[in-house]
Each structure stands twice: as C-alpha cells, then as structure tokens.
Structure 1
C-alpha cells in the first residue's frame, strides 16, 4: 500500500492511501460509477471489466482510502503498467466526496507509483472538456494539455470531446525538485 498526507488548498492535510482493489470492493466501485454526480464525467464499466482489471497484470486497480479512519473514499485505475513504451494511463479516478483534497492527494500518490514504482516515461489521461474541476486539478498538478479528441464519447446530451493531458518523467522530476511532488 502507498500512503501520503497531502495539503488540500487551505485545509488540513488529507490522509490518503491506495490499496489494491479486491473483489469485495467492486460493489463500492460500481456505486461510485453510477452515482448521478459522477455519470456526466465517466463511462461506467461493467462488473466483469473491473474484475478483469483486478486480475490483469497490465492494470493496477486501487481503492482510495482517506481520512483518519482510512475509509474507502474512491478508486483509481492505471493501464499500461507493462507497456514497453513506458506510457502509463490514468484510466479513471473517482472520489466520493469532492472538495476534501482526496482526489489531489490520490493523484500525487498515483504519480509517485507511475514514475517511481512502475518506471513510466509518460503518464497520461483524458478528461471530458466539460469536467472543469478535474481539468483544473490536472493542470495544477503539472499535466500538460496535448490535444483534443473531438466528440469521441457519447454523453447524456450527445457526444463529448476529450482533452488529452500528460506529464513526462523529466517534468515530474523537476516538480519534485521544487517540492511539488512526494519525495522519492
């Protein structure tokens, strides 16, 4: 398990830990994915897709545990963990309670896992253009926009576009040197 205390903007530190998802966690994951607050921003998976992601070595499926009691606060999925190109994707990150710093803290742990543990050269993601909260988070956490995939996923009111964003290992190292990332 990987843990961090991360400062949420003007708040006390958010205590966050990532632990591997177990079969017994899938109902929690599916509940978060189908929460009406989250549906406009993601394309939910079926149970079998999550079960496969837990077992498939190219994936890392984590439960985000947060707070003093380290209760389940969300989940995140990494894809490409065995990529010969060292390109790792943050496929999905969903937190239960927005605005408490759990997403930012979990993202910092995910970057540490991607670059330090899995040896990524490039850590990338895509985000729906109308997901302003997530886009702002990724921007302030050092992800650079790379391009726009126009109207590529079906949303509730038509087709949505995605912004592709990434961070390179050298950029992560530069941010770490400025104490903007978790220490090695």
Structure 2
C-alpha cells in the first residue's frame, strides 16, 4: 500500500472491489470523462502483471474514493500509461495527491522513461491538473472515441500528454516532486 502525507492511499484492487469500480464508472458525474470498461476488462487488469489496478482510499478509515489503472508496467520501452484515474471527491486535492503518488511509482518503482496519458478535450479540470503537474501536451487524437450517451453518437477527441524521466528529475531537483 502506498500513502502520501495528504492521507491518500493506493491499495491493489481485489476482485471483490470490482462492483465499486463499475459503480464509479457508471456515475453520471464521471461517465462523460472516461470510457467505461466491462467487468472482464477490469478483471484482466487486476490479474495481468503489465497492469497495476488500485483503489484510492482517503480519510481516517479505508473509505474508497476512486480507482486508478496503470498499463505498460512491464514494457521494455519503459513507457507507462496512466490508463484511468477516477477520484469521486473533488476540490480536496485528492486527485493531485494521487497523481503525485502515481508519478513517483512510475519513475522510482517501475523505472519509467515516459509516463503518459490521454484526456478528453472537454475535461478542462483534469487537463489543468496534468499541466500543473508537469505533463506536456504531445498532440490530439481528433474524434477518436465514440460516445453513445445521447440519441446520436458523438465523437470525443483526446489530448495526449506525457512526462519524461528527465523532466521528472528536474522537477524533483526543484522541489516540485517528492524525493
């Protein structure tokens, strides 16, 4: 289990947690910003060693407030993707604390050269967080994700962002990252 000074903890997801994960993905507040998976996809991510699937806990107890998925953890290219980060409680710095732990895990523990993600263009809040945490926009994938929430399908565009090992090291030297 990983914990930061803000009280955010990451613990490995167990199969018994998947009902919670699926409920979070179906939450109307989260759904516009993610592309939900089926249970079998989450089961695979929990079991397959190339993934790290975590429950995000916060507060005095073990209250689950979200989940995260890393992919490419065994990539010979040392390019790890933040596949999904969903934190239900907003405005308390939990997402930032979680992201900082994930960066530390990616670079220190998993020896990433590149830590990357994509974010839907309309997810302005998440994009601002990634910008402020050192991620650099690499490009846009135009209308690449089909969203079937309404009566007519809509295609969402994605912004691809990354943070490189050398950039992370500079941030650490500047005191912007935990040592």
Decide which of 11, 14, 20 is 1:28's aligned counterpart.
20
Decide which of 38, 41, 44 is 1:46's aligned counterpart.
38
What's the offset of the Cα at 1:70? Answer: 3.6
TM-score (norm 2): 0.95
Structure 1: stretches of 5+ with no match in the other structure: 6-13
Task: Name the counterpart of 1:174.
Answer: 170
Structure 2: stretches of 5+ with no match in the other structure: none
Task: Name the counterpart of 1:159.
Answer: 155
Decide which of 17, 27, 35 is 2:9's aligned counterpart.
17
- Is 1:103 aligned to 2:104, yes or no? no
Decide which of 77, 80, 93 is 1:88's aligned counterpart.
80
Runs of 4+ in 1 over 4 A off after TM superposition: none
State the Cα deviation string for residues 50-89 of structure 1 (Å, max 9, x = none).
1110000100000111122241111000000000100000
Secondary structure at the aligned position of 2:7 is classed as: strand
Query: Matched residues in 2 for 1:169 and 1:18: separation?
Result: 22
Asked whether the equivalents of residues 16 and 70 of structure 1 are also in contact (C-alpha less than 8 Å), the reply is no
Task: Name the counterpart of 1:2.
Answer: 2
Asked whether the equivalents of residues 64 and 76 of structure 1 are also in contact (C-alpha less than 8 Å), the reply is yes
State the Cα deviation string for residues 7-64 of structure 1 (Å, max 9, x = none).
xxxxxxx311111000111111111100000110111001111111000010000011
Secondary structure at the aligned position of 1:15 is classed as: coil
Decide which of 123, 129, 135 is 1:143's aligned counterpart.
135
Aligned residue-pair number:
175
Query: Matched residues in 1 for 2:98 and 2:178: separation?
Result: 11
